[in-house]
Amino acid sequence: MTKYSAFNMTGTFGSTPFVCLNSVDANMSADVYTAACAGETWKSRVAGASEASFTVNYTLDTTMTSGFFSALEVATTGTFTLSTNGTYSPQYEAAAVIESHNHTVPVEGIVSGTVVFGVNGSLTIT
């Protein structure tokens, strides 16, 4: 698991922008198959299919929540992007599905939440 924290992090899901991102966890893994034939003294490993997901933690002013929660409903699909300041590397882009979205109720005009985006297919990192 990689914690991606940077100044001016920006992200979008479809046409919904994220502002005030607190942190993002990028989770990437691959299926690894292990094999050894009789008499061999070392195992062989072969990488299989890869997968990725992103856990995004955010804070919002309640004046910015209009349409935000409905655009990020569980099982919604769209294009997920993430970068620092919109231009610096690494930049991530992928088709994604929202696996979970939890948020607080407003307290003194502030809402915080966590969204998990599951990558649906391949992940582009530039």
pTM over 0.75: yes
CA atoms of 111 and 126, how far apart (whole Å): 31
| Domain residue ranges of the chain, discontinuous segments joined by + | 2-125
Task: Look at residue 1 and tell me whether its pLDDT is greater than 60.
Answer: no
Is the CATH number 2.40.30.200 carried by domain 2-125?
A: yes
Which tens digits make up the pLDDT trace of 21-70? 888 888 999 999 998 888 888 999 999 999 999 999 999 898 888 889 99
CA atoms of 80 and 121, how far apart (whole Å): 12
DSSP-assigned states of every residue in 47-96? EEEEEEEEEEEEEEEGGG-TTHHHHT-TT-EEEEEEEETTTEEEEEEEEE
CA atoms of 47 and 32, how far apart (whole Å): 5
